[in-house]
Structure 1
Amino acid sequence: MTNHSEGSCIVKHFESYADLDEKDHQLLLSLEEGPHEWPKNALLLQQGDKSDCFYTLSKGWACSFRDLEDGTRQVLDVYVPGDIVGLREFSFQKRITSAIMLSDAELCAFPRHHLDHVFSSSLVLCSIMFMITSRDQAILLERLVNLGRRSARQKLAHFLVELSYRLLRTNAYVENHLSLPLSQSVLGDALGLTTVHVSRTFQEFRQEGLLNTGNAHLELLDIKGLEAVAGFDEFYLESPISESHP
């Protein structure tokens, strides 16, 4: 069988959950038709707008967020190549979050009503889509633990290690999967830390040889070392589909 996942982050993502046949491959590839380029800092989704489609992120990075009453924001998730943006809002008429590009990116819009065809045509893809949303929920639950019960060092280390695991799952096509286009302000908004606190913690990590910073990118030098700092357990990132899945 032709390796359709080569060049397709979303196919690689789905294949990490279960084996796909030719029909499933073609249905998935239809999600990546009509790619559109988005520049860094472009607003992809706006809270309150009509929720009529989601996006597959084939290249680049994005994040979802909520603006708060005091003018600050809470970053809710960071999306890496191969992720689906906006799927959490599938059952809502209006967007409950906004999303912005963290780098130049390529996305494909997929009308929500087209999912009916995908679901009716493939039980496997329907199941995987459900498992992806369940896994996203597990990530959010772990994020709550990270925000509420871990130190600044543990929060940052845990979040960065999690992203490295997610990048490996999607087989992201970037120059170095350990190079993350994340600013200190984005990380602070994601983890409830001030920029000063993030900068101080990064300085400690640099001195310990765990990472380098520069040019709005982070280079993870010692993922195992960061795992040790975080006390990281990847159980919540494991594929929830058993080997017996059809």
Structure 2
Amino acid sequence: MDKVTAEEHKQVEDRNRKDVRGGLSSDSSCISLGDVLGLYGELSTEAREALANIRQKPVELRRNQKVFSLCEGRADIFVVKEGWASLSHATSTRGQDICNVFMPGDIVGMRESFFENHDIVILSLTNCKLEKVSVDGLHELFKTNEEIRKAVTSYVMVNDNITIERLRSCTHHRSEERVAHFLLEVYARFNFKGLLASNVFSFPVTQDVVGELLGMTSVHVSRCMTALEQKKLIRKTRSSVKLLQPEEMTRNTGFDRDFIYGHLCLG
């Protein structure tokens, strides 16, 4: 019995070490491209130096400011250092549909930069500080440096997993469970980056944006938030959320953190 307990304890410790490796600094000025990619794959000092030498430019956006991004046929890449932003794919037939939200420590446009003529629209949900990264510079390292190639691929895989997990929730759950699932997603994303010390996290996302991501009206999102508060599962302020019973929310929604980040805990 003691042997099983010790083995389980070791597995938890190993997983925790993986989860916090290279955790990001809470100081936004210290969030770099190398630090972010270092969460998704082991990077040597040489690889981090190569990433630091890529041409980069600071960009500041005011709340509700839009950036239409297309760099020589490929979308620009931005590291989010501070604030929240959403990403839309612009098409001539559908206009602009929000497909994801990004918080500090995320990279906007990474996946899209590998596709030709892929227009994206970035909308700042709050005042934002971004770092615009040279697409050509990063893609050259992607071709020549195996560590960076693996980290970039892993980053794209995690964000695809987030989208798949969110879609699964939207097709299998009622509205209240969808909202709870999305809150758990945001909580997991903050936790993975090492940016949380408690069950409280920044959430300056409007009900309109949440509704568009989850296929609901903003009024319905509001009702679901109220219901979750009445059930004492969450406590919400204007710009933050506290998860009071994350374990029960996980059971109710089937949120699967391992599906999103599991491949990073192997080995």
How far apart, CA to CA, are the structure 2 residues paired with 1:173 and 1:208? 24
Match of 1:220 in 2: 242
Say if 2:41 and 2:150, in contact at 8 Å, map to a contact too. Answer: no
How far apart, CA to CA, are the structure 1 residues paired with 2:142 and 2:71? 27
Match of 2:161 in 1: 138
How far apart, CA to CA, are the structure 1 residues paired with 2:166 and 2:60? 30
Match of 1:230 in 2: 253
Gaps of 5+ in 1: none
Once the two structures are superposed, what CA deviation does each residue of 1:167-201 show, in whole Å capped at 9, x if it has no partner? 12223499996121111111011101111111111
CA gap of 1:90–1:70, structure 2 versus 1, over 3 A, is closer
Question: What's the TM-score, normalizing by structure 2?
Answer: 0.77
Say if 1:5 and 1:11, in contact at 8 Å, map to a contact too. Answer: no
Match of 2:223 in 1: 200
Question: What's the TM-score, normalizing by structure 1?
Answer: 0.83
Say if 2:142 and 2:149, in contact at 8 Å, map to a contact too. Answer: yes
Say if 1:9 and 1:172, in contact at 8 Å, map to a contact too. Answer: no
CA gap of 1:72–1:18, structure 2 versus 1, over 3 A, is closer
* Counterpart secondary structure, 1:178: strand
The CA deviation at 1:82 is 1.2
Which one of the candidate residues 130, 133, 150 is aligned to 1:107? 130
The CA deviation at 1:65 is 2.5
CA gap of 1:76–1:211, structure 2 versus 1, over 3 A, is same
How far apart, CA to CA, are the structure 2 residues paired with 1:114 and 1:68? 27
Q: Which moved more, 1:172-181 or 1:189-198?
A: 172-181
Q: Which moved more, 1:133-142 or 1:49-58?
A: 49-58
Q: Which moved more, 1:4-13 or 1:145-154?
A: 4-13
CA gap of 1:71–1:133, structure 2 versus 1, over 3 A, is closer
Query: Of the two, which has the highest radius of gyration?
Result: 2
Q: Which amino acid aligns with 1:219?
A: V
The alignment's C-alpha RMSD in Å is 3.2
How far apart, CA to CA, are the structure 1 residues paired with 2:266 and 2:40? 9
CA gap of 1:176–1:119, structure 2 versus 1, over 3 A, is same
Asked if 1:159 corresponds to 2:212, the answer is no
Give 1 or 2: higher helix fraction. 2
Asked if 1:125 corresponds to 2:148, the answer is yes
Say if 2:169 and 2:253, in contact at 8 Å, map to a contact too. Answer: no
Q: Which moved more, 1:200-209 or 1:224-233?
A: 224-233
Match of 1:55 in 2: 78
